[in-house]
Amino acid sequence: MKRKRINWTKARIFVVFVLLFLCFPFIFLRIIQLQLVKKDELSRLASKQHQSIITFIPKRGTIYDVKGNNLAVSIDVDSVYARPPHVKNPSQTAKKLANILDLNKEALTKNLKTKKRFVWVKRKVNPKQTARIKKAGLTGIGFVKESRRFYPHSPLAAHLIGFVGIDSKGLEGIEAKYDAALSGNTTRLILGRDAFGREIITEVPIPGRSPENYTLYLTIDRNIQYIVERELTRAAKEQGAKKGMAVVMDPTSGRILAVANYPSFNPNRFWDYPPETWRNRVVTDIFEPGSVFKVFLTSAALEEKVAKRHDIFFCENGAYVLSGKTIRDVKKYGWLSLEHIIKYSSNIGAAKIAELVKREVFYHYIRKFGFGHKTGIDLPGEAVGIMRSPKTWSKIALGNIAFGQGIGVTSIQLITAISAIANGGNLLRPYVVDRIVDSKGKMVMQSHPVIIRRMLSEETAKIMTSILKGVMREGGTGTRGALSSYEVAGKTGTAQKVDSLVGGYSEDRFISSFVGYVPCDQPRLVILVVIDEPQGIPYGGRVAGPVFKNIAERSLHYLNIPPTRGTLLVKASTKKTTWQPVKRTTHEMMHRGKPSRRMPDLRGLSMRAAFNRVRALELPLAVSGSGRVVDQHPRPGTIVESGDVCFLTFRPDV
C-alpha cells in the first residue's frame, strides 16, 4: 500500500497559525497594558524626549493707594533659559552669558552640560541684557516673558505692601495677605519642537485657580505716607535711635492712612537687607507702652465713677513705697488732681488711682480696650501682646501696670484704643484694604467701618479729651507736640526697657512715645509715634512729640482741614449781620495775594532738568528709578502749594 505524502507547507502554515493563535491573548493583554494601564506614564516619558514643562506665573494685580496712585505693579520682562542638548559650545556660551548677566561662569558651564532638557539661565533680566544676548546669537538659548513685580516708590510703604519672591509668591505684607486675590491664574508653559525642529511655546492654564488677578485699593494716602516716613526717619537718625514706628488712623472709620517703620528697605531688592528689616513692627512687635497707658486707667476710673477729674491724690513728694518697692516721679509732686496726674504724668498718682479702680475692674477695661486680643487688621503676623491674669498681680504689679510697665502691647493695638476715645467711645476694627475690583472694574470686596464694641460713654470720652488737652498746655508733658493752629489731645510715654541680661529694667534704654488726635473736638487724625532707644534725654514729649507735631501739621494742611484756632471772621453778606469763619488753610493765610502755581509737565525730562523745575516750585521731592521721567504726581496743570509732595518715577533709556 502506497503511503500518503505529507504536505509540509501546509503543516508549517498550520503550526504558525496555532502559535499565533496561542500568542494572540498575550499580545492583546500587552496592548491593554500599554494603552490603558501605563498610558500616562509612557506619555510622560515620550513628552520628556521632546518637551519641557514649566509652571509659569502670570501678572499680579496692581496695588493702588486710596487716590489711585500705583504702589505695586507688574511689568513684562524676559527670562533666559537654555536647552542643553542644543547648546553647541557650552564653555563659550557660558562665558558670554556670564559676562552679560554677571553670573558664575563655572556654575553656568556645568548647567549647560547637563543632560536635562531645560534649565534656567537667569530669570527676569533687564532689556539691555536681553538685547546683548540676542545680538550674540547663541544657539540653544531662548527667552520667555515673565511678570516682574515693581515698586515704583521703592521704600515708600515697603513694610505695609511687602514683596514677592522670584516665583511671584507674596512673602510679606499685603502681597502675602492677599496673595490669592493678586496672583490670579497660574499656567504651564510647554516648550517643544515641531517636525522641522522649530521651537514651539504653548501656555496651558492650570484648572482650579481664579481665572484672573484682582486690583487692590488701599486706605493708605501716598502723600501722608511720605510725610510720616520722612519725619520718622529724620527724628530717628537725629536721636540715634535703634528703631521707630508711626501710624496715622482715621478714628471715625478705622481706616489706616499711613504705616511707617524705621529702618526701612527697598522691596525691589529686598534680598540686600537682613530679614529682621522686612518685619512690619507696627503689628508684630510688642513693647511696654509707659505713661500712655495712664489714659486707659483714667478712662476706667471715670467710667466706673470711682474718681472724678477734680479729685485730688497725694503724690508723696516724688517717692512712694509699695510692697517694699519704690515708685518714683520725675518731679516731687504733693497734692494733684486726677486731671493734673495725667497732665504732669505722675506715676505715683496713677498707682493710687489704680488702687481705687481695683485690679479685676482694671483688667476688664484693659481687655475691653482690645489689649491681649488681635485687632483683626488685614495684615499678616499680628501679635496678641502680653497680658497676665489679674490673679497673679501683686500690689506693685498693679502699680506698674497703671503707668504702662509689666504689660506688652503693639502699636496697632495702642492707636486703635486711643481712637476709641477720640470718636466718642467706639472700638473700631482697623483696616488697610479699602476695596478689591476685577479687570472690568466690578467690585469684588468693599471694606466698611466695623464697630467691635462700645468702650466708654460719650460723656467719659469727652472728659478724657478735655483732660488730654491739658497735657498739651503750658506745664504739661506734651507741649512740644502742640500745634498753633489746631487744638490737640495727646499723651506722652516713656518706658524703661527690660534688660534680660541683668534682670529688671535698664537704666539707659528707653522707648519714647507720643499719641494724640487732632482737631481734638472733631478728630480727623489719630497719630502714634514710637522711638526705640533714643540717645540722650529719652522723654516721650521731647523725643516723639515734635515728630507728632510735624506729621500733624503737614497732613492737616494736605487734607485742607481748616484751622480751629486763629480763624478770621468776616461778614457773610452785606445784607446780613451774621458772621462766619473763613476756611483758609495755613498756606493761604501766610501767602495771601500770591498767584497760584501750576505743576509743569516733567515727563521725558532728564533727572537734572526735572529737579531744577521742581526746585523752582519749592516742593519736597520723592523719586524712584533713574533715567527720564515717565510718571509724575501731581499731574501736569494741577495747582500746587507749599507742603505738597512731588513724586517722580524715572526709567532708563532703552
Local confidence band at 626 (pLDDT 50, 70, 90 cut-offs):
confident
Confidence band for 629, pLDDT divided at 50, 70 and 90: confident
Residue owning grid cell 493765610: 589
Question: 550-573 pLDDT, tens per residue?
Answer: 999 999 999 989 888 754 333 333
pLDDT tens by residue, 121-157: 888 888 888 889 888 888 888 888 877 889 989 899 9
Pairing of strands 70-82, 639-640: unpaired
Task: Return d(Cα 511, Cα 518) in angstroms, integer.
Answer: 23
Averaged pLDDT for residues 394-415? 95
| pLDDT level of residue 27 (50, 70, 90 thresholds) | confident
367-381 pLDDT, tens digit each = 999 999 999 999 999
Please list the alpha-helical segments (H only) found in 154-312.
Answer: 158-161, 173-177, 179-183, 222-239, 281-284, 294-303
Q: In whole angstroms, give the CA distance from residue 494 to residue 489.
A: 18
How confident is the model at residue 9, as a pLDDT? 76
101 vs 431: which has the higher pLDDT: 431
The runs of H, that is alpha helices, within 346-498 are 347-357, 359-368, 395-402, 411-422, 458-471
Task: Specify whether the CB–CB gap between 50 and 192 falls below 8 A.
Answer: yes
pLDDT, mean over the chain: 85
State how far the Cα of 105 lies from the Cα of 94, in Å rounded to an integer: 6
Lowest mean pLDDT among 127-131, 348-352, 447-451: 127-131
Residue intervals in the chain for CATH 3.30.10.20: 595-651
Buried b / exposed e over 461-473, threshold 16 CB at 10 Å, is bebbbebbbbbbe
Which secondary-structure segment (H or E) carries 186?
A: none
Provide the pLDDT for residue 593: 38
pLDDT of residue 489: 96
Task: Indicate the residue type of 453.
Answer: R
- Are the CB atoms for 303 and 460 separated by under 8 Å? yes
Residue limits of CATH 3.90.1310.10 in the chain: 53-218
Topology of the domain covering 595-651: Trypsin Inhibitor V; Chain A (3.30.10)
CA pair distance 251, 613, nearest whole angstrom: 38
Give φ, ψ of 392 to 5 degrees. Answer: -95, 0
pLDDT tier at 594 (50, 70, 90 boundaries)?
very low
- Residue 322 has φ and ψ, to the nearest 5°, of -135, 115
Name the one residue in this structure whose C-alpha cell is 499723651.
491
pLDDT, residue 10, reads 73
Q: What is the pLDDT of residue 203?
A: 47
CA angle 246–407–229, rounded 5-degree value: 5
Confidence of residue 253 (pLDDT cuts 50, 70, 90): very high
Q: Is the pTM of this model over 0.85?
A: no
Buried b (16+ CB within 10 A) or exposed e, 393-410: beebbbbbbbbbbbbbbb
Q: What's the half-sphere exposure (Cβ side, CA atoms, 13 Å) at 272? A: 7
Q: What's the first-to-final CA gap in the chain, in angstroms?
A: 106
Three cell numbers, residue 254 = 478705622
Report the amino acid identity of residue 163.
Answer: F
List the single range of 21-30, 522-531, 607-616 with lowest mean pLDDT.
Answer: 21-30
Q: How far is CA 216 from the centre of its chain?
A: 13
Task: Say yes or no to pLDDT of 305 above 50.
Answer: yes
CATH 3.40.710.10 domain range(s) in the chain: 222-266+279-435+445-558
Which CATH architecture fits 222-266+279-435+445-558? 3-Layer(aba) Sandwich (3.40)
Tell me the per-residue pLDDT of 309-339, one tens digit each, with 9 for 90 and over: 999 999 999 999 988 889 999 999 999 999 9
Residue 2 pLDDT > 90: no
Which pLDDT belongs to residue 588? 37
Rounded Cα gap, residues 273 and 259, in angstroms: 19
pLDDT at 398 over 70: yes
Q: Decide: helix, strand or coil at residue 453.
A: strand
Range 53-218 classified under CATH 3.40.50.920: no
Three cell numbers, residue 396: 506693685
Cβ neighbours of residue 632 closer than 8 Å, sequence gap 6 or more: 599, 601, 602, 603, 646, 647, 648, 649
Strand 621-624 versus strand 646-651 pairing type: parallel
pLDDT at 422: 97
> C-alpha distances in angstroms, 339 versus 100, 474, 522, 578?
70, 14, 21, 37
> Is it the case that residue 211 has pLDDT exceeding 80?
no
CA distance 564 to 484: 9
Q: Looking at the predicted structure, is the pLDDT value of residue 459 above 80?
A: yes
